[in-house]
């Protein structure tokens, strides 16, 4: 994204062109830059959205990287900024900075099989990967998508699940922790790692991308290591408090790594021994 | 080029700086302590260069103000609130630890993408450093090679020789500041007295951090019980962060300016000892335990800085040791982890 200003803290305006309800506390905002430029991003990168008067928050960019003039952010109502965003309607204007951070290493793993493991909102940074694979299907081997949420109504992007299943050589497995009475659920019940029983990975030809709550990533990483995967084959997308996105405000540090510029996607090998992560 | 400034001419020299249109910041006595203040109305007599340590680090406070408006947002327009490009500032009498700390802050803020607020202030700042004449029980700059004297990184450098100051020129900005202020040239005697003075101060510094292989020591101690033990004493007040001349973290908030209908996007100092520092949505906190926050502070200075910016993040100014209400002492922590104390 180029900007009139050299000042990296100055957002540009983006118009909300659509708002989709994902579930009662989650919405996806479709945005277009007012200056007509594209937010050229790669899957796994994030942006920082401004609701002027309330503040900024960092979000995974969750749309297809192939879409040039629009981009999407999925927002769960959990804090001050996200609560303000929740009332935003199509036609309103927000601020955006970015894209920031290191993406998933999609170029480096061409030819490999992929296992994508998402927990709750952690599906957001994996969605651009799925869209990218759908467009460039011959670049990768088999793809397994494992998605878990607390309850069926906590899931996001459910309206796309059928089209994901229709991507050649791609399977989608779903699980929830709990099915409320009266809710129809034809998939698994249990933690997301249990879905790994459906996958028969070709060892040394498989790469795993994981995003979800830190505790879920911890247990997933432990199980994957027990299954014989190398730390170098496991990639995690981490969440930390961020105030700048450019390695100045200090908040997102984990050991000597900055999540905003060295991540948010990390190889398990590079963060496995750092404190305050996956402990 | 080096010159001699007679002690009684210091007010005259300060007036020379003010007359050239600079804002002048210098240490003055405030309630028996020293603090860097803007010298207003030509009150150059208030300047007192006899000090060991100010509570607040002068250059951090000037370059990254504790509270700073970054953007003003109004009527669908975003206005950058950058420092006045003509606000040229001289800061007089900065000790070497603080000058070295500024050089560390530059590595953070001038790393790309540059922070335009820091950059504007830094470009307009002239630093007249002052080699130390005294040290106290908190000083440990010699452990990091950041004091008590400077070899580089200053525009002008003063050494107190009693009845006069030796003034060395370190940059073109420094040379230009004094080109129309007559001073006699320094002699080899002045330099011999300077060397004696620095040697004497070095002998006064008793506190020490052994930095040999310190990263291996610190990384090996990440799960040492010492962090839990320190958490029993620490109050989590963040004083160490605030007084540290290399602590650079900030928080950003949107403040409404009610009378103008604007939003002021404002940054304020933040610190890793504070509870909210690593808090995320839904009450998640990646350093909920005080022990993890103390470990972060100490390891950032004594370990991670080296990976991130090529040198350790401590300059041995002694402020965090002096100001800690729980008397937690970073030099003692390192010594204990090295097995150098009882």
B294 CB neighbours in chain A (<8 A) are none
pTM: 0.95
Nearest to A142 by CA among A104, A112, A107: A112
Residue B32 backbone dihedrals phi, psi, to 5 degrees: 70, -5
Q: How confident is the model at residue B246 (pLDDT cuts 50, 70, 90)?
A: very high
Look at residue A62 and tell me whether its pLDDT is greater than 60.
yes
Q: Are B205 and B141 in contact (CB under 8 A)?
A: yes
Q: Using omega within 30 degrees of 0 as the cis cutoff, is the peptide bond preceding A195 cis?
A: no
Q: What mean pLDDT value characterizes chain B?
A: 96
Distance, in angstroms, between B242 CA and closest chain A CA?
A: 14
Identify the CATH assignment for A12-100 out of 2.40.30.10, 3.40.50.720, 3.40.1190.10, 2.30.30.30. Answer: 2.40.30.10
| Mean pLDDT on A23-37 | 96
Do residue A10 and residue B78 have CB atoms under 8 angstroms apart? yes
* Cβ–Cβ under 8 Å, residues A99 and A46: yes
Indicate the length of chain A as a whole number.
279
B residues 285-324 near A, CB within 8 Å?
286-287, 292, 295-296, 299-300, 303-304, 307-308
Closest CA to A125 of A48, A58, A43: A43
Q: Using the 8-state DSSP alphabet, how is residue B313 labeled?
A: S
- For A74-90, the DSSP string reads EEE--SHHHHHHHT--T
Euclidean distance between the first and final Cα of chain A, in Å?
36
Inform me whether the pLDDT recorded for A4 exceeds 60.
no
B67-74 and A12-23 strand pairing: unpaired
Quote the DSSP letter at residue A134: H
| Cα of A276 to nearest chain B Cα, Å | 6
| Strand B89-94 relative to strand B125-130, pairing | parallel
Measured distance CA(B111)–CA(A175) in Å, rounded: 45
| Per-residue confidence band for B282, with pLDDT thresholds at 50, 70 and 90 | confident
A34 touches chain B (CB under 8 A): no
Average pLDDT over residues A238-247: 95
Residues of B within 8 A of A84 (CB-CB) are: none
B253-268, pLDDT tens digit by residue? 999 998 989 999 999 9
Min Cα–Cα distance to chain A from B38, Å:
27
User: What pLDDT, in 10s, does the model give residues A191-222?
Assistant: 999 999 999 999 999 999 999 999 999 999 99
How high is the pLDDT of residue A3?
45
DSSP per-residue letters across A220-266: HHHHHHHTT--GGGEEEE-----SSSSS-S-TTEETTEEHHHH-BEE
Domain positions in chain A:
12-100, 113-237
* Average pLDDT across chain A, whole number: 95
Would an 8 Å CB–CB cutoff place A253 in contact with chain B?
Answer: yes
- Residue B21: partners with Cβ closer than 8 Å, 6 or more residues away: B88
SS3 B70: strand
Residues on chain A touching B302 (C-beta within 8 angstroms): none
Q: Provide the shortest C-alpha distance from residue A122 to chain B (in Å).
A: 14
Q: Report yes or no: B253 at the A interface, CB cutoff 8 Å.
A: yes
Contacts of A233 (CB under 8 A, 6+ apart): A204, A206, A207, A208
A2 pLDDT exceeds 50? Answer: no
At A278 the pLDDT is 58
Set of chain B residues whose Cβ sits within 8 Å of the Cβ of A240? 278, 280, 286
Q: How far apart are the first and last CA of chain B?
A: 50
B37 vs A267: CA distance, rounded Å: 48
Least CB-CB distance to B282: which of A78, A247, A251? A78
Nearest to B129 by CA among B174, B162, B161, B163: B174
- Strand, coil or helix: A14: strand
DSSP states along B178-202: HTTS--PBP-HHHHHHHHHHHHHHH
Angstroms from B85 CA to nearest CA on chain A: 15
Q: Cα separation of A50 and A131, whole Å?
A: 26
Would you call B113 and A246 a contact, using CB atoms and an 8 Å cutoff?
yes
Q: What is the pLDDT of residue B86?
A: 87
Distance from C-alpha of B58 to C-alpha of B245, rounded to nearest angstrom: 8
**How sure is the predictor about A72, in pLDDT bands with cuts at 50, 70 and 90?**
very high
CA distance readout (Å), A163 to A117, A167, B235? 18, 7, 54
pLDDT of residue B75: 86
pLDDT at A1 over 50: no
- Dump the DSSP string for A34-52: TTS------TT-EEEEEET
- Sign of the Cα pseudo-torsion (B29, B34, B35, B39, in order): positive
Domain boundaries along the sequence of chain B: 2-204, 214-337
Entry field: residues in chain B = 342
**How many of the other CB atoms lie within 10 Å of CB of B203?**
9
Question: So what's the ipTM on this one?
Answer: 0.93
Q: Chain centroid to CA A140: how far?
A: 19
pLDDT in tens, A111-138: 999 999 999 999 999 999 999 999 999 9
CB of B270 within 8 Å of a chain A CB? The answer is yes
Nearest C-alpha in B relative to A244: B252
Q: Do A248 and B254 touch (CB under 8 A)?
A: no
Q: Which of B80, B252, B300 to mutate to test the interface with A (most CBs of A within 10 A)?
A: B252
Q: Angle formed by the axes of helices B330-337 and B290-299, to 10°?
A: 90
- For chain A, give the percent of residues with pLDDT over 70: 97
B115 touches chain A (CB under 8 A): yes
Q: Which chain B residues touch A8 with a CB distance below 8 Å?
A: 113-116
Q: What is the mean pLDDT of residues A43-50?
A: 98
Q: Phi, psi at residue A105, to the nearest 5°? A: -80, 55
- E-assigned strands of B135-249? 156-160, 164-169
Torsions phi, psi of B56, nearest 5? Answer: -90, 140
Q: Which residues contact A68 (CB under 8 A, 6 or more apart)?
A: A38, A40
Report chain B residues whose CB lies below 8 A from the CB of A246: 113
User: What is residue B306's three-state secondary structure?
Assistant: helix
pLDDT digits (tens, 9 = 90+) for B196-226: 999 999 999 999 999 999 999 999 999 999 9
CA neighbor of B321 nearest in space, from B342, B335, B340, B305: B335
Assign a CATH topology to domain A113-237: Rossmann fold (3.40.50)
SS3 B166: strand
């Amino acid at each position: 994204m180029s900007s009139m200003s050299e000042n990296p803290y100055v957002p540009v305006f983006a118009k909300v062109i659509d708002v989709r309800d994902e579930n009662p506390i989650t919405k996806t905002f479709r945005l277009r830059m007012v200056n007509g430029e594209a937010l050229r991003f790669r899957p796994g990168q994030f942006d920082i959205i401004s609701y002027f008067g309330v503040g900024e928050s960092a979000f995974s960019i969750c749309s297809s990287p192939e879409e040039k003039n629009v981009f999407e952010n999925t927002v769960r109502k959990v804090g001050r900024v996200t609560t303000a965003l929740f009332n935003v309607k199509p036609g309103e204007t927000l601020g955006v900075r970015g894209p920031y951070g290191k993406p998933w290493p999609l170029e480096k793993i061409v030819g490999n099989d992929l296992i994508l493991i998402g927990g709750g909102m952690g599906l957001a940074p994996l969605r651009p990967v799925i869209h990218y694979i759908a467009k460039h299907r011959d670049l990768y081997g088999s793809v397994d998508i494992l998605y878990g949420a607390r309850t069926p109504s906590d899931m996001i992007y459910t309206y796309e699940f059928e089209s994901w299943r229709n991507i050649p050589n791609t399977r989608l497995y779903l699980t929830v922790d709990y099915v409320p009475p009266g809710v129809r659920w034809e998939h698994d019940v249990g933690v997301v790692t249990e879905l790994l029983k459906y996958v028969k990975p070709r060892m040394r030809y498989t790469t795993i991308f994981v995003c979800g709550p830190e505790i879920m990533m911890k247990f997933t990483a432990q199980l994957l290591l027990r299954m014989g995967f190398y730390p170098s084959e496991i990639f995690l997308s981490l969440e930390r408090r961020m105030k700048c996105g450019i390695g100045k405000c200090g908040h997102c540090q984990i050991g000597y790594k900055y999540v905003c510029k060295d991540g948010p996607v990390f190889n398990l090998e590079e963060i496995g021994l750092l404190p305050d992560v996956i402990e | 080029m080096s010159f001699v400034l007679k002690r009684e001419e210091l007010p005259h020299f300060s007036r020379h700086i003010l007359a050239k249109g600079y804002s002048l910041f210098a240490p003055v006595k405030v309630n028996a302590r020293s603090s860097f203040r803007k010298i207003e109305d030509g009150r150059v007599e208030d300047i007192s260069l006899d000090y060991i340590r100010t509570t607040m680090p002068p250059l951090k406070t000037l370059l990254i103000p504790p509270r700073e408006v970054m953007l003003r947002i109004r009527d669908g327009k975003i206005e950058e609130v950058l420092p006045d490009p003509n606000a040229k500032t001289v800061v007089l009498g900065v000790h070497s630890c603080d000058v070295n700390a500024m050089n560390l802050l530059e590595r953070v803020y001038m790393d790309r993408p540059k922070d335009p607020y820091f950059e504007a202030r830094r470009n307009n700042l002239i630093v007249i450093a002052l080699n130390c004449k005294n040290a106290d029980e908190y000083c440990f700059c010699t452990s990091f090679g950041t004091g008590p004297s400077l070899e580089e990184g200053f525009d002008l450098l003063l050494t107190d020789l009693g009845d006069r100051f030796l003034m060395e020129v370190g940059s073109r900005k420094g040379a230009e500041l004094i080109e129309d202020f007559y001073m006699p040239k320094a002699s080899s005697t002045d330099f011999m007295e300077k060397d004696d003075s620095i040697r004497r101060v070095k002998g006064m510094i008793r506190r020490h951090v052994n930095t040999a292989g310190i990263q291996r020591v610190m990384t090996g101690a990440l799960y040492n019980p010492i962090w839990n033990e320190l958490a029993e004493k620490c109050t989590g007040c963040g004083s160490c962060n605030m007084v540290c001349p290399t602590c650079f973290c900030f928080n950003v908030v949107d403040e409404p300016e009610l009378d103008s209908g604007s939003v002021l996007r404002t940054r304020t100092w933040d610190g890793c000892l504070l509870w909210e520092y690593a808090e995320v949505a839904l009450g998640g906190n990646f350093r909920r335990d005080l022990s993890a926050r103390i470990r972060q502070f100490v390891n950032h200075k004594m370990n991670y800085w080296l990976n991130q910016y090529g040198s350790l993040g401590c300059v041995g100014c002694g402020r965090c040791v002096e100001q800690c209400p729980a008397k937690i002492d970073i030099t003692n922590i390192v010594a204990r982890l090295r097995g150098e104390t009882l």
